Structure 1
């Protein structure tokens, strides 16, 4: 399974929604605290792009000692319709500073120096220190996951239902079969949610024999998985 640091790094570098939690800024609308873009630097620092008049920019500009303690909260929502769509959250705490002159006019780049991080997702809960976060790499399928899951859900619903055959007789008897949807995809495998309504669901994990490195390798493993289900 991916480490807590890898999962956190994947969420930070994904397109998941994110807001910056700032002391004294609880009254602002969430969209004013959401960065327009974010990226991770070579030393694990997180760069956040905001309009020059956004509350986080004003707070960082006026912070005492030029550093502002903040928490970047990231929420991961499944890209297909399933019960309980929130797949996980990550919180990255640290200190925020402005980087004048880096962004285009009307924008300000902020730098978040990571102090600690936590993740709570489909794999479980985990704590991450700054060194682990800086050394971790995002999942290689992260940039393609949304498109791939939506394609599986829209085009290959019959094949998704075929996966029930791989669960075994005991597990299959516990699984409601009204709806079957791909929930998550990473280099280690596919997670599927079987449900018969919001209060009756079951997740199954289908692991690949070996981690995949790119979409081409993923297609081969998905083909093998579907063939095994139909055998």
Structure 2
């Protein structure tokens, strides 16, 4: 399974929604606190791009050399229609400073030096140290997951539902929806005949490193369900 550090790095570098909570910007609208771009530096620091007049930029500029505490709050929502769509949340806490000279005109890059990280997702909840966060990397399928899950739901619904044949005693399900995808496997959310939902996880024979490997792994999974 992916480590807590990898899962958090994946959320930070994915397209899930994010809000930067910083002192001095309490009255700002949520859209004003959402960075336009998020990336992670070589030492594990998180870079956040904002308009130059954004509340977070003003707060960081006003703080100057002082340590300005800030928290990047991330919310991961399933890209397909499914009950209980929030797949996870994460909090990256640290100290915020301006990083001038990196962004283009009218923009400012902010640097969040990571202190503490916490993730609560489909795998469970865990604390992650700054060192673990810096050493981890995002899942290689992160950039493609949304498109791939939507494709599975729209085009391969019958095959996805056929995976219920691998559930043994819990095979009497009415609906199966692809919920999450990573290099280790596919997670689906099932609805049984009584209207109860539960998740099932199907591991790949080995971790995949790219989309080509994923296609082979999915074919193997679907063939196993048919057999």
Verify the 8 A CA contact 1:83 1:195 in the aligned structure 2. no
* Secondary structure of the structure 1 residue equivalent to 2:82: coil
RMSD: 1.4
Residue number in structure 1 paired with 2:60:
60
CA displacement at 1:28 relative to structure 2: 1.5
CA displacement at 1:24 relative to structure 2: 4.0
Residue number in structure 1 paired with 2:83:
83
CA displacement at 1:99 relative to structure 2: 1.3
Distance 1:30 1:200 in 2: 34
Distance 1:53 1:88 in 2: 30
Distance 2:146 2:13 in 1: 14
Q: TM-score, normalised by structure 1?
A: 0.94
Verify the 8 A CA contact 1:77 1:85 in the aligned structure 2. yes
Distance 2:76 2:192 in 1: 23
Does residue 131 (structure 1) correspond to residue 131 (structure 2)? The answer is yes
Residue number in structure 2 paired with 1:162:
162
Q: Which structure 2 residues correspond to residues 39-188 of structure 1 after superposition, within 5 A?
A: 39-63=39-63, 65-168=65-168, 170-173=169-172, 176-177=173-174, 179-188=175-184
> Residues 126-177 of structure 1, C-alpha deviation per residue, up to 9 Å, x if partnerless?
1111110000011111111111100000000000110010000x2224xx41
Distance 2:100 2:165 in 1: 58
Residue number in structure 1 paired with 2:18:
18
Distance 1:66 1:81 in 2: 45
* Secondary structure of the structure 2 residue equivalent to 1:119: strand
- The gaps in structure 2 that reach 5 residues or longer are none
Does residue 223 (structure 1) correspond to residue 215 (structure 2)? The answer is no
Q: 188-197 or 120-129: which moved more? A: 188-197
* Secondary structure of the structure 1 residue equivalent to 2:65: helix
Verify the 8 A CA contact 1:14 1:142 in the aligned structure 2. yes
- The gaps in structure 1 that reach 5 residues or longer are none
* Secondary structure of the structure 1 residue equivalent to 2:171: helix
Residue number in structure 1 paired with 2:199:
203
* Secondary structure of the structure 1 residue equivalent to 2:137: coil
> Residues 158-213 of structure 1, C-alpha deviation per residue, up to 9 Å, x if partnerless?
00110010000x2224xx41x3210000011000011269x721110001121111
**Regions of 4+ moved over 4 Å:** none
Distance 2:65 2:36 in 1: 26
